[in-house]
Chains A and B, each alone.
Chain A
Amino acid sequence: MQLKKLSKLSLALAQASGALLSATSGAAHAQTENFGWQIDSAVLYYQEADGRVRAIEPVVSMKKDFGDEKIFNMKLVLDSLTGASPNGAPPANVAQTFTSPSGGASYTTAPGELPLDETFKDTRGAISSSWQQPIAPDLRLNVGGNISAEYDFQSIAANAALAKDTNNKNTTLSAGINLEFDNIMPVGGAPVGLTRTSLKLPTGDEGEGGPSKSKFITDMLFGVTQVLSRQALMQVNYGISLANGYQTDPYKMLAVLNGDTLVPTANYLYEKRPETRTKHSLYSQFKYHFTEDVVDLSYRYTTDDWGISSHTWDTRYRFEISNGLYLEPHARWYTQSEADFYKPYLVQGTDVTAGGVALVGFATADSRMSAFDATTFGAKIGKAFEDESEISLRVEQYKQVSQTKNNLPTGDLAGQKLVPDLSALLIQFGYSFRW
């Protein structure tokens, strides 16, 4: 009996360590004697302020433990997006009229408003699966794959990871690789980067323009998980990501400023990003069990060859209230620097000629490539029942505050916030049970 308990506990820890390399295999539960299905389901509601993106995202994750550390996992996600997405042009003191990506409609943005493409609507479906099993003493292999599709984008990926327990299973070393292939089919074709929006003429797959584009991403992740004490556990991961292919956002453009006056919107330029990107990440996480409560602290640093560095601090504190009822406040701080080629707008004469010929190699006005700080504050309340089922509700507020300064004293952009802040509300219902 004691032996059974011990193996049960060490298995749970081994699974916890293995979670590092597979987002879908992480729910390591102590209860391994019941080899039924563990079902985790959730619905996320995400709403950005000012009528921007709204998403409703149901998820079902199914896990079956076959014993002997053999675990199968499958997850289905549906993602329904509606609303409006910024097109890259900044708010101005004059009205701006744009043609939609399909070329079939136009929309006008009033002075002082952020130009948004109102035709933004998408549904994404994703399925992922993984299998874990031991292949030698204290060595586990996890293989998995996923497919994701939306009407203008498809992604397929496969991954494999090894996790090796040492030091009486107090230390787990892991290494994994993920290969991803993405296919992008922009509405209206992929525009030629840094050409005028009025010149959008898809010309087949030759050159830059064309109906279909692709990219290939190789990710590698190496980690160490260490038990520090009966109450403390930590993990450190190093990740490297190499992306090659089309990484431009085909729907985003840059405004052009001539002196302090905006040129006609037809003379705005489509954005263009480099074809290669190498990213590094360092992630560390620490968990500590107080008498009943648990604190979870993590920090991540990332840097890439586009010039973007970021810091992320994340903290959760789980109050065990009573009888499986818990409350978990959450706070996250994030800050990133801007890409080398980020520009809130192009300057005629410096970045582009009066004839519309780009003088820079790459440029984007996508706010996600700009410098900003972001915070998330929220809480989750949940109740775990005797039969291993659990219900939960999570409410969080996400805010981005731009660090891009506007130094224009006069003209069409004077006084405007070049990158408006973003605010979003997240509400998530969760239900887990054994089946």
Chain B
Amino acid sequence: MSKILILFVLIGVLSGCSSLGMKPLGVKPWERDLLAKKSMQLDAYPVDSALDDHIYFSKEAASGGRSFGGGGCGCN
């Protein structure tokens, strides 16, 4: 549990290091051409990922992580 928190804080510090005077991670607005493509979205195909989440929720003990689930199921 503590490892999780440390990693989480580390990422937060890394991404916000501009406040420490370091060069911030990221790009200028005119460098977002590739990031704006559909294939570069974190959840580019939400219907696919929701169907997958539902299958794995029904068959495995772990679930979630990426987003909230879509309304549970009896899944017997």
Contact = CB atoms under 8 A, between A and B. Distances in A.
Given A219-B68, A226-B15, A230-B31, A281 B8 contact: no
A400 B12 contact: no
B64 A239 contact: yes
A43 to B, nearest CB: 10
Contact of B26 (A20, A171, A219, A424): A171
Contacts of A398: 55, 59
Contacts of A169: 29
A196 interface: no
A302 B11 contact: no
A350 B55 CA distance: 36
Interface residues of B, number: 60
A171 B27 CA distance: 10
B4 A238 contact: yes
Interface residues on A, range: 35 or more
A219 B67 CA distance: 10
B27 to A, nearest CB: 5
Interface string A2-28: 000010111011011101111111111
Given A26-B67, A171-B15, A238-B8, 19 more contacts: A9-B35, A9-B36, A13-B36, A19-B42, A20-B42, A26-B46, A126-B71, A128-B71, A155-B71, A157-B71, A168-B24, A230-B31, A236-B11, A282-B4, A282-B65, A334-B56, A374-B60, A384-B38, A424-B59
17 contacts: A19-B42, A20-B66, A23-B43, A23-B69, A28-B38, A57-B54, A167-B18, A219-B68, A221-B64, A227-B25, A227-B27, A230-B31, A230-B35, A238-B4, A238-B8, A279-B62, A282-B4
